[in-house]
A = this chain, B = another copy of it.
Amino acid sequence: MHQLCLPMGLEDADIERLDQIIGKRRRLERDEPLYKMGEPFRNLYAVRFGHFKTYQINAAGEAQITGFQMAGELLGMDAISADRHHCDAVALEDSEVCEIPFAHLQDLFGQVPALLRHFHRIMSQEITREQNVMLLLGNMRAEQRFAVFLVNLSARYAARGYSSTRFQLRMSREDIGNYLGLTIESISRLLSRFKKLGLVQVDKREVVLLEPARLKAMAAGTEQCSPMA
Q: Which residues of A contact B (CB under 8 A)?
A: 56, 58-60, 62, 64-66, 77-82, 86-87, 106, 109-110, 113, 116-117, 120-128, 130-135, 137-139, 178-181, 220-222
Contacts and interface: CB of A to CB of B under 8 A. Distances in A.
Nearest to A83: B121
A58 B147 CA distance: 14
Contact of A116 (B62, B82, B109): B109
Contacts of A87: 131
Given A81-B125, A110-B110, A124-B78, A58 B131 contact: no
Contacts of A122: 81
Given A64-B139, A109-B109, A220-B60, A134 B128 contact: no
Contact of A58 (B79, B124, B128, B135): B135
Given A80-B120, A81-B124, A124-B123, A58 B130 contact: no
A121 B120 CA distance: 12
Contacts of A126: 127
A64 B124 contact: no
A64 B138 contact: yes
Contact of A60 (B79, B137, B181, B221): B221
Nearest to A127: B78
30 contacts: A56-B131, A56-B135, A58-B135, A58-B221, A59-B220, A59-B222, A60-B222, A62-B221, A64-B135, A64-B139, A65-B138, A66-B131, A66-B135, A77-B123, A78-B131, A81-B122, A81-B125, A82-B124, A82-B128, A109-B109, A120-B123, A123-B123, A130-B130, A130-B134, A134-B137, A137-B137, A137-B181, A138-B178, A138-B181, A139-B181
